């Protein structure tokens, strides 16, 4: 962690020095003593930074030795802790100055644009003189002194210098094949799995039984339970199935609700225990039930008795429990207890090969195989240890690297909480430096907390954990970090078809907490905290806090160095943003409070904030000052309602990457500086020419989807969940208003997106001519989907040159009478024609030889469809064409009352979904 901070700090100094030097060397003015004084401060800062860089570089050179020694050396551990603290403070001071530089540059450019080119030289001069934040010179001087003292302590600790990070921490060479591990493939547990299954299916005369799997961490107890739970012999014998992760807190209300929802696959808005118990009893009545309670720690008999009461209504109940604690099995009145043993050596070797050698050691060098067997013996038969070490070694092929792990003295460490820790610490010690802060950050959340991949990467980005690499996007590099942590078994995959998620295994979570030394912390503030918890919270930098009672005021009373705060306040809390301004160092703020009614204006005082998430349906507006957060990269305001937003000043969200919000605005001109905006943007009520020009859509090279509506709403308004939705107030600027019917072409031409756009939707455009960029392959070189809705005067579609276009949807275009499909790109895969009331003919369908989906709905005047380019009159018999579409897999033609037949070759001979209804020809329907 310290390595990341020092690298980040050096990068920050390097980036700031040119602008500071420019300010210091700006021409002096004899009529302005204040400018001279300002430049004197700038020169002092420049000198301090130059000396600080030399000191920090010396410290960085010793970090590898310090990182290796801190595991055993208390003094080195303390030295690293002090180093982290000073580095954080230095980051804050320099980031504050960087903000001033950014703000002055933006304001100078805006002023220059507004004043005209004849004043540009003067504006560039103003840009150089950056205002120094109050007290920055003194703060920076104190920080430099603290770093000097740390450098002296480094010499006293005799930390060795090196020329940088050694090979294990450099970028690894990836094998040609990916990770081949299947979590369902375990070794040496078949007999134990069979025993558990046999017991579950026997003794049916007993209506209620508890089977416990007890053992220390790392034995893969949960994996055994998962395989039992999914076994076909088991699934045939029960009516209801449920899996609940219990973890350390045995909350009967929460668990009862979770059990109901897992066995019914439904959510229930119940919070009273009596109501929940009645619902559970009703659900299981007369049923056979299998319930897994994973990771149980409860030793309170009365709590267990309270949880099991509703199951008396069931016909038969089997509860499978996993725990590390034998007393848990006694409390739960276990019928049978299974204790997985450590894996035998041959099974451990199979597991090791599966991860380190991708399944076989036949092609491996003999010396690696020999050392692999020796390392396996040291893992003590713990599957998680074997997996962790083997995953690490999969990337290493040098004998020196393997021998370093084999001979590490960490194997002999005695003070670890469990025998598993020494082996896991070896994996952590060899984790590349750039991955360590990303891994440790995950420990801020409670155990069993599911982390969504995209959100986790954005949080890493917000803290600057992801190092830039050439022209590759930071998000893509973050995805590589995420993948590598999974491959090294530091993250467990819990993805489904809806989202890609992960979580930390309990033991891995314990390791991360141990290594972070309370830098990351999660706490339940529903009850008064003890002295020790308050002390930890006062020192933590990243905090997850949940509360369903009124003890919010006890959280972080003195911690002003906080960098992450996640507040989960429950559905019936009603609190303000409380005294957040004192937490000036915050980079991430996630405020989960359903009753939140207002975001205060002082949110702008959190000048370092990069990530803000506030889900609430009770908000009415965004504070105008929020756009002044120069570092804000991610803004998520989850609300079903449109919020009023009136931007304050010229600068708004210059660093924003993703923004999810529904805003009611008077202008879209403030979008201009959002050059890094990603995802999807929808704008309702477009019709102001000058406003459209000011938005500068062409500078948003990361935007993938653009949806434009002339009027505020159509039936398609909410067909897609956009990241940012803007609803323009009608005639917001009367003096600049341009009627759509007069020059509708102009506003659409002015909203031309960047050529990287992939999906474009435009509704209610009144001109008879589309702007040239909509048919220009250089303007839409990445376009994949176009949707045109309710274009009153368009007669043809000039898209033949768009060679990347794959999906075309035409809706309500009533001026189109003949649709010539040979004018469309031949690679089109989907064509939907909806509610085109005056469409008579569709010709040249056979030209679309890659078409997979064709839908023609509610076109009442449609008379014929031809496969070739010949336009035919209304037929009396089914039409015959010379071409066919073998690629078609979905065909729907409905409510086309004048259509009397389909051309031969339209319906392919292969598998295809076909539905033809509401036409003059016979109905056809098959899959």
- Residue 96's Cβ-side half-sphere holds a number of Cα atoms within 13 Å equal to 20
Say which range, 731-740, 851-860, 861-870, has the weakest mean pLDDT. Answer: 731-740
- Cα–Cα distance for residue pair 298/751, rounded to 1 Å: 61
What are the backbone angles phi and psi of residue 685, rounded to the nearest 5°? 85, 30
* Residue of 388 and 608 predicted with greater confidence: 608
Can you give the pTM of this predicted structure? 0.82
Instruction: Read off the pLDDT of residues 335-379 as tens digits, 9 standing for 90 and up.
Output: 889 998 888 889 899 889 888 887 666 667 788 889 999 988 888
Looking at residue 579, its pLDDT comes to 64
**C-alpha–C-alpha distance, residues 375 and 430, integer Å:** 15
Q: In the predicted model, is pLDDT for residue 178 greater than 50?
A: no
Q: Is the dihedral of CA 372, 377, 378, 379 positive or negative?
A: positive
Q: What is the DSSP string of 222-280?
A: HHHHHHHHH-HHHHTT-SEEEEEEEES---HHHHHHHHHHHHHT-------HHHHHHHH
Please report which confidence band the pLDDT of residue 883 belongs to, taking 50, 70 and 90 as the band edges.
low
pLDDT tier at 258, thresholds 50, 70, 90: very high
Helix (H, G, I), strand (E, B) or coil at 916: strand
Look at the block and give the residue holding tokens 């339209």. Answer: 906
Nearest to 290 by CA among 225, 222, 334: 225
Is residue 510 within 8 A of residue 248, CB to CB? The reply is no
In sequence order, which ranges of 70-135 are alpha helices (DSSP H)?
A: 74-115, 120-128
Per-residue confidence (pLDDT) for residue 705, from 0 to 100: 94
Q: Is 168 exposed, middle or buried (0-12, 13-18, 19+ CB in 10 A)?
A: buried
Quick one: what percent of the chain has pLDDT higher than 90? Answer: 32
pLDDT in tens, 435-470: 999 999 999 999 889 999 999 999 999 999 998 888
Percent of the chain with pLDDT over 70: 82
Angle between helices 420-429 and 506-516 (to 10 degrees): 60
- The single residue listed with the structure tokens 């000058």 is 690
Q: What per-residue confidence (pLDDT) applies to 920? A: 92
- In whole angstroms, what is the distance from residue 133 CA to residue 93 CA? 9
The CB density around residue 750, as the number of other CB atoms within 10 Å, is 20
Phi, psi for residue 770 in degrees, rounded to 5: -80, 150
| Range scoring the smallest mean pLDDT among 106-110, 578-582, 757-761, 788-792 | 578-582
Q: Which two tokens stand for residue 874?
A: 């209304």
What's the rounded mean pLDDT across residues 516-537?
82
For the stretch 684-700, pLDDT in tens is 888 777 888 889 999 99
474 secondary structure, DSSP code:
H
If you average pLDDT over residues 584-605, what whole number do you get? 85
- pLDDT tens sequence across 780-830: 999 999 999 998 888 888 888 899 999 999 999 999 999 988 888 889 999
C-alpha span between 757 and 698 (Å, rounded): 10
CB-CB contact of 732 with 666 (8 Å): yes
């Amino acid at each position: 962690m310290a390595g990341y901070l020092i690298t980040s700090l050096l990068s920050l100094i390097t980036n700031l020095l040119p602008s500071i030097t420019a300010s210091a060397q700006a021409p002096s003015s004899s009529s302005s003593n204040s400018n001279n004084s300002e430049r004197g401060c700038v020169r002092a800062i420049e000198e301090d930074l130059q000396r600080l860089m030399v000191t920090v570089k010396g410290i960085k050179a010793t970090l590898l030795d310090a990182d290796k020694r801190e595991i055993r050396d208390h003094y080195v551990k303390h030295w690293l802790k002090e180093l982290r603290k000073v580095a954080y403070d230095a980051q804050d001071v320099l980031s504050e100055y960087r903000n001033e530089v950014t703000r002055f540059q933006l304001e100078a450019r805006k002023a220059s644009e507004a004043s005209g080119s004849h004043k540009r030289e003067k504006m560039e001069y103003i840009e150089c003189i950056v205002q120094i934040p109050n007290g920055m010179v003194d703060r920076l001087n104190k920080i430099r002194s603290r770093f000097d003292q740390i450098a002296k302590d480094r010499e006293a600790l005799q930390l060795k210098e090196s020329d940088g990070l050694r090979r294990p921490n450099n970028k690894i060479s990836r094998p040609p094949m990916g990770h081949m591990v299947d979590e369902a493939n375990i070794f040496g547990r078949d007999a134990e799995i069979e025993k558990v299954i046999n017991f579950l299916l026997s003794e049916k005369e007993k209506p209620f039984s508890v089977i416990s799997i007890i053992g220390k961490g790392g034995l893969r107890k949960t994996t055994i339970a998962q395989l039992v739970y999914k076994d076909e012999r088991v699934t045939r014998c029960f009516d209801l199935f449920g899996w609940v992760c219990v973890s350390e807190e045995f909350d009967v209300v929460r668990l009862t609700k979770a059990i109901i929802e897992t066995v019914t696959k439904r959510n229930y808005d119940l919070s009273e225990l009596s109501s929940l118990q009645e619902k559970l009893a009703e659900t299981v009545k007369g049923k056979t039930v299998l319930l897994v309670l994973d990771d149980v720690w409860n030793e309170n008999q009365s709590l267990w008795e309270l949880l099991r009461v509703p199951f008396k209504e069931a016909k038969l109940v089997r509860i499978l429990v996993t725990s590390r604690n034998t007393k848990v099995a006694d409390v739960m009145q276990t019928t049978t207890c299974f204790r997985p043993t450590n894996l035998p050596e041959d099974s451990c070797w199979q597991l090791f090969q599966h991860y380190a050698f991708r399944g076989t050691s036949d092609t491996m060098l003999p010396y690696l195989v020999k050392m692999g067997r020796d390392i396996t013996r040291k893992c003590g038969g713990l599957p998680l240890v074997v997996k962790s070490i083997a995953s690490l070694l999969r990337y290493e092929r040098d004998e020196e690297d393997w021998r370093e792990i084999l001979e590490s003295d960490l194997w002999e460490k005695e003070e670890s909480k469990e025998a598993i820790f020494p082996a896991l610490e070896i994996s952590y010690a060899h984790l590349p430096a750039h991955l360590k802060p990303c891994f440790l950050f995950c420990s801020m959340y409670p155990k069993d907390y599911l982390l969504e991949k995209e959100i986790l990467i954005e949080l890493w980005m917000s803290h600057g954990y992801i190092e830039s690499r050439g022209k590759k996007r930071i998000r893509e590099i973050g995805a590589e970090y995420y993948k590598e942590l999974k491959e090294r078994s530091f993250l467990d995959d819990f993805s489904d078809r809806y989202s890609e998620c992960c979580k930390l295994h309990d033991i891995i979570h314990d390791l991360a907490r141990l290594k972070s030394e309370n830098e990351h912390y999660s706490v339940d503030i529903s009850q008064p905290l003890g002295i020790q918890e308050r002390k930890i919270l006062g020192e933590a930098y990243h905090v997850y806090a949940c509360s369903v009672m009124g003890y919010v005021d006890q959280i972080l009373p003195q911690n002003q160095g906080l960098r992450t705060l996640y507040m989960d306040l429950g559905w019936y809390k009603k609190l303000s943003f409380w005294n957040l301004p004192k937490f000036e160092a915050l980079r991430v703020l996630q405020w989960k409070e359903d009753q939140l009614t207002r975001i205060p204006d002082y949110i702008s005082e959190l000048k370092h904030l990069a990530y803000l998430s506030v889900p609430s349906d009770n908000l009415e507006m965004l504070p105008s000052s929020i756009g002044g957060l120069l570092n804000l990269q991610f803004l998520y305001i989850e609300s079903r309602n449109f919020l009023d937003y009136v931007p304050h000043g010229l600068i708004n969200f210059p660093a924003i990457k993703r923004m999810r919000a529904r805003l009611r605005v008077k202008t879209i001109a403030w979008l201009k500086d959002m050059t890094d905006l990603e995802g999807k943007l929808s704008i309702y009520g477009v019709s102001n020419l000058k406003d459209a020009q000011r938005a500068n859509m062409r500078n948003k090279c990361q935007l993938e989807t653009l949806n434009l509506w002339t009027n505020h709403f159509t039936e398609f308004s909410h067909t897609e969940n956009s990241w940012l939705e803007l609803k323009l107030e009608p005639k917001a600027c009367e003096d600049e208003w341009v009627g759509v019917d007069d020059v509708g072409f102009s506003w659409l031409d002015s909203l031309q997106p960047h050529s990287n756009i992939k999906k474009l939707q435009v509704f209610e455009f009144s001109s008879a001519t589309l702007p040239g960029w909509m048919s220009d392959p250089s303007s839409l070189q990445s376009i994949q989907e176009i949707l045109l809705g309710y274009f009153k005067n368009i007669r043809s579609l000039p898209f033949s040159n768009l060679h990347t276009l794959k999906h075309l949807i035409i809706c309500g275009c009533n001026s189109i009478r003949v649709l010539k499909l040979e004018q469309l790109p031949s690679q089109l895969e989907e064509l939907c024609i909806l509610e085109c009331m005056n469409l008579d003919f569709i010709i040249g369908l056979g030209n679309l030889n890659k078409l997979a989906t064709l839908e023609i709905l509610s076109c009442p005047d449609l008379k014929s469809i031809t496969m070739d380019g010949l336009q035919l009159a209304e037929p009396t018999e089914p039409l015959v064409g010379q071409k066919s579409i073998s690629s078609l897999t979905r065909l729907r033609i409905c409510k086309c009352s004048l259509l009397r037949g389909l051309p031969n070759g339209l319906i392919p001979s292969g598998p295809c979904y076909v539905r033809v209804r509401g036409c003059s020809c016979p109905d056809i329907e098959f899959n």
